[in-house]
Amino acid sequence: MYRSYNCGELNASHINTEVTLSGWVQKSRDKGFIVWVDLRDRYGITQLVFDEQRSSKALIEQAQNLGREFVIQVKGTVIERASKNPNMPTGDIEILVSELTVLNEAKLPPFTIEDKTDGGEDIRMKYRYLDIRRNPVKNSLIFRAKVAQEVRNYLSEEGFIEVETPYLIKSTPEGARDFVVPSRMNEGQFYALPQSPQTFKQLLMVGGMDKYFQIVKCFRDEDLRADRQPEFTQIDCEMAFVEQEDILNAFEGLTRHLLKEVNNVEVEKFPRMRYDDAMRLYGNDKPDIRFGMEFGELNKVAQHKDFGVFNNAELVVGIAVPGGNSYSRKEIDKLINWVKRPQVGALGMVYCRCNDDGTYKSSVDKFYNQDDLAKWAEITGAKAGDLICVLSGETNRVRAQLSALRMEMAERLGLRDPKVFAPLWVIDFPLLELDEETGRYHAMHHPFTSPKPGQIELLDSKPGEVKANAYDLVLNGNEIGGGSIRIHDKATQAIMLKHLGFTEEEAKAQFGFLMDAFEYGAPPHGGIAFGLDRLVAILGGQETIRDFIAFPKNNSGRDVMIDAPAPLDEKQLEELSLKLNIKS
């Protein structure tokens, strides 16, 4: 056998034990008469020792020729370490090596395999198999496995059945572009990779499975914003004979279980917030409620005061930054420049200092007196020592801008503690969104989301006011899950598709299989899908998902390690009946 123990489990209780270890050379220290080698595997590091008093000259020379990342096997005796290392689980012992075998030599790695490496992100992605040897990445992948296992444990205990659904499916419009796969045996026809198993999990409910889940890969061919991947993993779930409250209660339970088992954190409250309130108070539909700085709408107290910037704005809105009055004028100017960056897009920012003596000093004092500014403070909740930051403009745009500023200030003030978890349900989303370019409505979630009871009639007269029977679970300012109660009868589904611009023929061609299934006794049903990558990152105290994915792609959707995507040769194209028409 290659090893009798791993490199992380030996301690003082094993002294005088004969052992066999295998692993990678982390580093070595050669003093001439004595050589120490750190041997690493997934489980830890064990120090090896070769010295001239107890080791042969040939063995010492062999040790001196070891390079970083050589794969070796050693046999030897566990002895007490003269200079103990209390920071290592194996720090009380070392292995006096009697036999050394090089299993594989290694080239010098392009970056150091250390917790703090000298390799940049691009080079580490190219050599991802080396990066995985580093503790930060290795531990993130182990952490992900633990979360996934806890998900399976909990849902299985709750009576959910894990069912696999196909990867080669039919292309259906779900908001993003499909990745398509040509069929060699069906000339001119294509499969699509699923953006989600949405229709299949609904069909499983028609099939009577009652409670389904799956940890499943999903695919979306979309322009990649920061921290997105073209392939991602969902915890996909569906339940029959449920209403919205049943879903929320069930998956609060899963979230509590994960926080307790993975982070040893107990969370009792899962507040509910309407979508309209989230937008009004925080400027986005996934607010971070670990801290305050709620929006205060100032139209009534800031307009009609001869200040044209505010008077001409659709919305005037501000936040109170705790302790912000300590900012110098130079620091405030930098903040104004920050909101004017293209990524935020504000034209400027008005501010008001809340002095300790109860007075106010604003950048627009020419137009507003102390009583006016006191009303600003009242509406934004500002106290003495705070700084009121005010933006104005078109409602949706200015809310997004102030939301970005709120999150930036929270980051600067240290208010986003990754060890604090604040879940939130956002409910009562609009059913439809208006595409300003085309003038057509599209589904905010997907075409199978049910409207709130009693609102289906509004689709003809006031489609923008119809609320969806939908919900998102937000954790620390990130959407970790979203779902809805589904439409489960053919007539309602046909009405929904009609309002999304499908003709009867198009609806039948795209979704005929699902609508036909509804005619065979479909139960009321609903579900939710968690983004596993994001959930794991947040539980792990981070917000970037890449280190929690074994082989991620870059921001261009490329796998730089295997150089994919890549061209097909002419023979493959001919077999698939494909001809390229690449526009330069």
Residues contributing to the annotated binding site for L-aspartate: 174, 220, 445, 486
Radius of gyration, alpha carbons of the chain: 30
Alpha carbons 181 and 169: distance in angstroms, whole number: 9
The DSSP-derived string for 207-271 is: TT--EEEEEEEEE-B----TT--SEEEEEEEEEES--HHHHHHHHHHHHHHHHHHHH--------
Q: Which helix H or strand E contains 79, and what residues bound it?
A: strand 71-80
Asked whether 427 and 308 are in contact (CB, 8 A), the reply is no
Alpha carbons 467 and 274: distance in angstroms, whole number: 10
Where helices occur in 462-500 by DSSP H, the ranges are 490-499
The DSSP-derived string for 4-57 is: SS-TTS--GGGTT-EEEEEEEEEEEEE-SSEEEEEEEETTEEEEEEEETTTS-H
Asked whether 236 and 478 are in contact (CB, 8 A), the reply is no
In sequence order, which residues have a C-beta less than 8 Å from that of residue 247 and are 6 or more positions away? 239, 471, 483, 485, 526, 527, 528
Locate 474 and state its tokens: 């937000």
Asked whether 48 and 36 are in contact (CB, 8 A), the reply is yes
Pairing between β-strand 161-162 and β-strand 440-443 as defined by DSSP bridges = unpaired
Enumerate the known binding-site residues. 174, 220-222, 229, 445, 479, 486, 531-534
Smallest Cα–Cα separation from 475: which of 258, 196, 175?
A: 258
Alpha carbons 518 and 520: distance in angstroms, whole number: 5
* Residue 336 buriedness (CB in 10 A; 0-12 / 13-18 / 19+): middle
Long-range contacts (CB closer than 8 Å, 24 or more residues apart) made by 77-82 = 77/16, 77/17, 77/18, 77/19, 78/10, 78/14, 78/15, 78/16, 78/17, 78/19, 79/15, 79/16, 79/49, 80/12, 80/15, 81/47
Residue 417, Cα to own-chain centre: how many angstroms? Answer: 17
Q: How far apart are the first and last CA of the chain?
A: 58
Asked whether 377 and 310 are in contact (CB, 8 A), the reply is no
Locate 370 and state its tokens: 């102390």
Enumerate the known binding-site residues for ATP. 220-222, 229, 479, 531-534
